[in-house]
Amino acid sequence: MSDEIKRRFENAGLAVIGTFSGTGPTVIEAFHRVVNVEAQPVETIPRDTPDLAVRVNEAWTRNARGTGVLNEDDSFLAAGSLEHGWFHVRLTSATNLFSLQDPEGDLLFVARDLSGQQVCAVSREGAEYWILEEEFR
């Protein structure tokens, strides 16, 4: 397990359960489905929205719950990196996905359910943050 990625997730308020080596789409497969010119958001949040971090967190959580990415215990798989694969994590009351953005303000957070059928991501696209969903069946 990458200590750097684990710290990054923990700093974002996620409880890190461990790495995931099961079946289903890889981080690369999920990444290619949500980050491409044909991807369409299910929800957009303008960058000038008041309480932007709160709105991004709420939108992602609502959509992740609605698609089944979140288990009953609020656990799911989060993309650590293309190299390190999926990490099994859980939302906590301190979770702030917006804190995962890089110094330039870009944010890309890709998550999937444990079965590998649903992916829910948040990404900054120009003047908006996009919530993206993909289904693998």
Give the CA dihedral 92, 22, 1, 123, nearest 10 degrees: -60
Mean pLDDT (the chain, rounded): 92
pLDDT for 47-59, tens place per residue?
Answer: 999 999 999 999 9
Burial of 10 (0-12, 13-18, 19+ CB in 10 A): middle
**In which band, very low, low, confident or very high, does the pLDDT at 131 lie, cut at 50, 70 and 90?**
very high
**Higher pLDDT residue, 6 or 83?**
6
What whole-number distance in Å separates Cα of residue 109 and Cα of residue 131? 10
pLDDT at 1 over 70: no
What whole-number distance in Å separates Cα of residue 122 and Cα of residue 12? 14
What whole-number distance in Å separates Cα of residue 104 and Cα of residue 88? 27
Query: Which residues 6+ apart lie within 8 Å of 9 measured at CB?
Result: 16, 78, 80, 87, 89
* Bridge-based pairing state of the strands 75-81 and 85-90: antiparallel
Which amino acid is located at 37 in the chain? V
Structure confidence at residue 80 (pLDDT): 87
pLDDT for 83-129, tens place per residue?
Answer: 889 999 999 999 999 899 887 777 789 999 999 999 999 999 999 99
Q: Which residues sit opposite 109 in a β-bridge?
A: 122
